């Protein structure tokens, strides 16, 4: 099969399209004929020697943690999936999953069936960001109907999904974004849209139950003042998580960090919301598998609104 492999840590030039032996499904796994693979900032950070590079083992390494395709074979002990099922998944994170490839083996508890309403490229881009938003809101914060939820960076990859998931849970949602993205976050369901370039959150906003922080650092620390007593911030950027948590402790605010975990049951919840029209994924563009290096350049530029996806012929 064809796969993108990293032969030495560094930039996109270190990625090559290689012929490799296809994987074989072990017990508890399925073999997926891959049709699309999601691209995330953690991908190029890992390939550069940062990110999750400590977890991936020896090089060469096949990047990618998100896939969508068709089940080709089922390993022993798997009863929930059959050959021919359309599925999508977020796999093995932070260990190597090998999704930038024509075939991939997936633990059966880390995939879900893909409903017809969830197009294959969208499915490939939903796992990491969708599960991060879901786990931040539901598993960490326990969002409830009627609560006030503030999403920092509401137009971002996780943020735009967090807005929709909070609305689906019955929350009142406030989102921050640049002036150019105000209409976009309003279309997602934000009840209030705040231009972060001109607003002082700690002055203009109060009585927030939950903050989903997609920015980190000084911006997150300033936003802590928006929380009501007993409120909670879930901060996503790991680089500043300790700094934000320390500031929260000094001010008497609860702050939790998060590292997303693969979860097939929660993927099925996301798929159901997508089918019901309560969730959509913003796709920036798709590129063929051979252009993985270009996709990493685009992701690293920070100028993409929406998800990048590699299509697999």
Domain extents in the chain: 2-127+281-311, 129-257
> How far apart are the two ends of the chain, measured CA to CA in Å?
11
Amino acid 168: pLDDT: 97
Q: What is the pLDDT of residues 271-288, one digit of tens each?
A: 999 999 999 999 999 999
Structure tokens at 11: 């930039």
Distance of CA 250 to the CA centre of its chain: 30
Amino acid 43: pLDDT: 97
- CATH architecture for segment(s) 129-257: 3-Layer(aba) Sandwich (3.40)
Task: Spell out, as residue ranges, where the chain has pLDDT lower than 70.
Answer: 303-304
CA distances (Å), 186 to each of 160, 224, 238, in order?
Answer: 10, 23, 28
Residue partners of 154: CB distance under 8 A and separation at least 6: 160, 162, 163, 175, 176, 177, 181, 185, 188, 190, 193, 214
Residue with tokens 């998944």: 89
Amino acid 303: pLDDT: 65
Amino acid 166: pLDDT: 98
Q: Tell me how far apart the alpha carbons of residues 150 and 179 are, in angstroms, rounded to a whole number.
A: 17
Residue 63: is it exposed, middle or buried by C-beta count within 10 angstroms (0-12/13-18/19+)? Answer: buried
SS3 for 240-275, per residue?
HHHHHHHHHHHHCCEEEECCCCCCHHHHHHHHHHHH
pTM: 0.95
- Give the CATH fold of the 2-127+281-311 domain: Quinone Oxidoreductase; Chain A, domain 1 (3.90.180)
Q: Tell me how far apart the alpha carbons of residues 128 and 113 are, in angstroms, rounded to a whole number.
A: 16
Q: Which of 75, 77, 53, 71 is nearest to 63 (CA)?
A: 53
Amino acid 204: pLDDT: 76
């Amino acid at each position: 099969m064809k796969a993108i492999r990293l032969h030495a840590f560094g930039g996109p030039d270190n990625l090559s399209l290689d012929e490799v032996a296809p994987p074989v499904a072990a017990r508890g796994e399925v073999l997926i004929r891959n049709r699309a693979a999601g691209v995330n900032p953690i991908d190029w950070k890992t390939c550069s020697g940062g990110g999750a590079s400590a977890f991936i083992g020896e090089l060469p390494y096949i990047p990618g943690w998100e896939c969508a395709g068709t089940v080709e074979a089922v390993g022993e002990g798997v009863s929930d999936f059959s050959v021919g099922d359309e599925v999508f998944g977020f796999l093995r994170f932070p260990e190597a999953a090998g999704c930038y490839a024509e075939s991939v083996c997936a633990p059966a508890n880390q995939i879900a069936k893909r409903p017809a309403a969830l197009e294959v490229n969208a499915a490939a881009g939903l796992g990491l960001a969708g599960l991060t938003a879901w786990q931040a809101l539901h598993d960490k914060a326990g969002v409830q109907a009627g609560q006030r939820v503030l999403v920092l960076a509401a137009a971002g990859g996780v943020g735009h999904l967090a807005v929709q998931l909070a609305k689906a849970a019955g929350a009142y949602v406030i989102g921050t974004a640049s002036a150019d993205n105000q209409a976009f976050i309003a279309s997602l369901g934000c009840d209030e849209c705040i231009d972060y370039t001109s607003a002082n959150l700690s002055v203009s906003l109060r009585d927030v139950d939950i903050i989903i922080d997609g920015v980190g650092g000084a911006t997150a620390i300033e936003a802590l003042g928006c929380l009501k007593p007993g409120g909670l911030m879930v901060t996503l950027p790991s680089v500043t998580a300790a700094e934000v948590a320390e500031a929260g402790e000094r001010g008497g605010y609860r702050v939790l960090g998060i590292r997303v975990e693969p979860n097939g049951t929660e993927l099925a919840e996301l798929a159901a919301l997508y089918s019901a029209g309560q969730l959509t994924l913003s796709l920036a563009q798709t590129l063929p598998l051979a252009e993985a290096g270009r996709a990493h350049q685009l992701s690293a530029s920070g100028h993409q609104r929406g998800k990048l996806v590699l299509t697999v012929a």
